[in-house]
Chains A and B, each alone.
Chain A
């Protein structure tokens, strides 16, 4: 039984170390995270949004959150989009998830029937949460950005 106890405690220690490494997120601002995710080249065809964009696209009031960065396509015909937002507490994460779900649905309704490329891109949208951060991207680079986001929040 002594050996079992030692083994179990060792397993627990390894598991905690794994969770610490995997789940731990820093306390950096959304702007700082975004600067590690998107390069200037990435946003040549995009425009950086403001509080009005956040409200219009996602129905979110900027004052309720702890910072955000939103980029959207310059051209109305494109659906490329990136949102990195930091919640003030974990309870807001579900609200954020709902908001991006609604955004995707609205965009799909807008392009349904004539924008096959846009629809394909919308369906491949990526939503990731780490700690109090939410990442949402619709883009051919969404996967790369997501990987950079996951690394950036661990710093």
Chain B
């Protein structure tokens, strides 16, 4: 079930909200747990068991680590065991085929492997579970003794299948004492509609541009076509993922939860360092807190600092997908983060804003090629086309798609900066009814598109 579907918007969500608001406080968590299990099972009737197993396993392990807190050695053993089992589950279902293929590629063997379906959301809920376990071990939090509350935390449907990655310590008190208010509900609805519009009106349409370009016949693209295609994808993935995050945060608010912001206008960044403070914030903070800092962060000799950066970005790339082009995607950022840290920091600070901005968007846009290509060869070929390997700057196809999608590209560019949101806030502050009308019109437009379109999955579902 996806948020941007008629069945979710008009059946699942209204029914869940009705029951949730009708039951007494003590029953709200069980209601959310049941709704979340139903939500997940709708699309993954077999893998719902894996998700529930993860919840049960990490619940008991959290208690075990907490009860052993006075014996560091025993607690550490339990922590290691828990991390290994969690990573085993993630590794097996997501990376075993990739591991076999890589082994075959390196050693020239021909081991066969079965093609297993990837359980939706496994990367997200596994990382949530690990954050809980590690924070219990670190004594940042007490273990959650209420089984329902813990399972609800791990399986809650707003963030279950595509984030944001919610750290337990950030919502610990909200599990028991969250405030459900009309104002909060209204903010949640507004945030949800904004996210829905980003996904349905912008991401889906901009995605058509990228799909059309990559489907062009022949091996070579003109420079114009190649850039149009990847700019389309650059905007598509931002609106798709940030739209989903907005919907998740909005749903959380409706239910009384406050989740952290996951995207903060990343395409206004002037450095790659800044970009990664604005893009998929919940993931980058997770890696910083649970991997980068424990490795020593930047408080180590320069060669260990380099090691830490490359390890984190190797794993960040791998988290996104079981394929070498995702690893290249991650390591590419590691290179530029190192360059910015050791060489480019001062030049970028002194450069005019537009130069830094162009530099950042160029790096980011080119890297998306690795992200959206089926393999490394295709990615390199596409990048070659972007820089003129075909020998053609602009062809009829490129000009056609430029004309056809110019308006969407313009709207996409405008909506990726804070100005529209600031304008909306001003309208909401001075004329609240006008803001409500805008939201209603956006919602109606989204529904019209959803009824017309048949299938619109989220790109980040594959993680």
A33 to B409, CA, bound (A): 44
Q: Which of B23-66 contact A (CB under 8 A)?
A: 46, 49-50, 53, 56-57, 60-61, 63-64
Q: Is B114 in contact with A24, judged by CB distance below 8 angstroms? A: yes
A residues less than 8 Å from B115 (CB atoms): 24-25, 27, 131-132
A131 to B116, CA, bound (A): 7
Chain B contact-residue range equals 20 to 34
Q: Is B116 in contact with A5, judged by CB distance below 8 angstroms? A: no
Min Cβ gap B378→A in Å is 11
A27 to B457, CA, bound (A): 26
Q: Is B116 in contact with A94, judged by CB distance below 8 angstroms? A: no
> Could you tell me the dominant secondary structure of chain A's interface residues?
helix
Q: Is B81 in contact with A5, judged by CB distance below 8 angstroms? A: yes
A22 to B457, CA, bound (A): 25
Q: B436 near A: Cβ within 8 Å?
A: no
A88 to B457, CA, bound (A): 19
Given contacts A25-B115, A88-B374, A91-B462, contact A98 B454 (CB under 8 A): yes
**Count, A-B residue pairs, CB within 8 A:** 57
A residues less than 8 Å from B46 (CB atoms): 19, 22-23
A residues less than 8 Å from B457 (CB atoms): 94
**Which residue on A lies nearest to B49, using beta carbons?**
A15
Q: A9 near B: Cβ within 8 Å?
A: yes
B residues less than 8 Å from A94 (CB atoms): 455, 457
Q: A103 near B: Cβ within 8 Å?
A: no
Q: Is A15 in contact with B53, judged by CB distance below 8 angstroms? A: yes
Q: B112 near A: Cβ within 8 Å?
A: yes
Q: Is B81 in contact with A97, judged by CB distance below 8 angstroms? A: no
Q: Is A16 in contact with B60, judged by CB distance below 8 angstroms? A: no
A75 to B454, CA, bound (A): 31
A27 to B374, CA, bound (A): 18
Q: B15 near A: Cβ within 8 Å?
A: no
Neighbour of B117 across the interface among A1, A16, A23, CB < 8 A? A23
Q: A120 near B: Cβ within 8 Å?
A: no
**Which residue on A lies nearest to B61, using beta carbons?**
A5
**Which residue on B lies nearest to A61, using beta carbons?**
B215
Q: Is A1 in contact with B60, judged by CB distance below 8 angstroms? A: yes
A residues less than 8 Å from B116 (CB atoms): 19-20, 23-24
Q: Is A131 in contact with B117, judged by CB distance below 8 angstroms? A: yes
Return the CB mask of A1-18 against B: 1 if under 8 Å, else 0: 100110011011001100
B residues less than 8 Å from A88 (CB atoms): 374
Neighbour of A12 across the interface among B60, B89, B118, B455, CB < 8 A? B89
A97 to B456, CA, bound (A): 12
A15 to B57, CA, bound (A): 14
B residues less than 8 Å from A9 (CB atoms): 85
Return the CB mask of B267-307 against A: 1 if under 8 Å, else 0: 00000000000000000000000000000000000000000
Q: B400 near A: Cβ within 8 Å?
A: no
**Which residue on A lies nearest to B116, using beta carbons?**
A23
A20 to B112, CA, bound (A): 13
Return the CB mask of A116-127 against B: 1 if under 8 Å, else 0: 000000000000
Q: Is B53 in contact with A25, judged by CB distance below 8 angstroms? A: no
Q: A101 near B: Cβ within 8 Å?
A: yes
Neighbour of B53 across the interface among A4, A12, A22, CB < 8 A? A12
Neighbour of A26 across the interface among B64, B114, B455, CB < 8 A? B114
A15 to B455, CA, bound (A): 31
Q: A147 near B: Cβ within 8 Å?
A: no
Neighbour of A8 across the interface among B60, B92, B374, CB < 8 A? B60
Neighbour of B60 across the interface among A4, A20, A26, A131, CB < 8 A? A4
A residues less than 8 Å from B117 (CB atoms): 23, 90, 131
B residues less than 8 Å from A1 (CB atoms): 60, 63-64, 67
A residues less than 8 Å from B53 (CB atoms): 8, 11-12, 15
A–B complex contacts, Cβ < 8 Å, 26 sampled: A1-B63, A1-B67, A4-B60, A5-B60, A5-B64, A8-B53, A8-B56, A8-B57, A8-B60, A11-B53, A12-B53, A12-B85, A15-B53, A19-B93, A20-B114, A22-B46, A23-B114, A27-B112, A88-B374, A90-B117, A91-B462, A94-B455, A94-B457, A97-B455, A98-B454, A98-B455
Interface residues of B (CB under 8 A from A): 46, 49-50, 53, 56-57, 60-61, 63-64, 67, 81, 85, 89, 92-93, 112, 114-118, 374, 454-455, 457, 462
Q: A5-B64, A24-B114 are in contact. List 6 more A-B contacts (CB 8 A).
A: A8-B56, A8-B60, A15-B49, A19-B93, A20-B116, A131-B115
Q: Which 3 A-B pairs have the closest CB atoms?
A: A24-B114, A131-B115, A25-B115
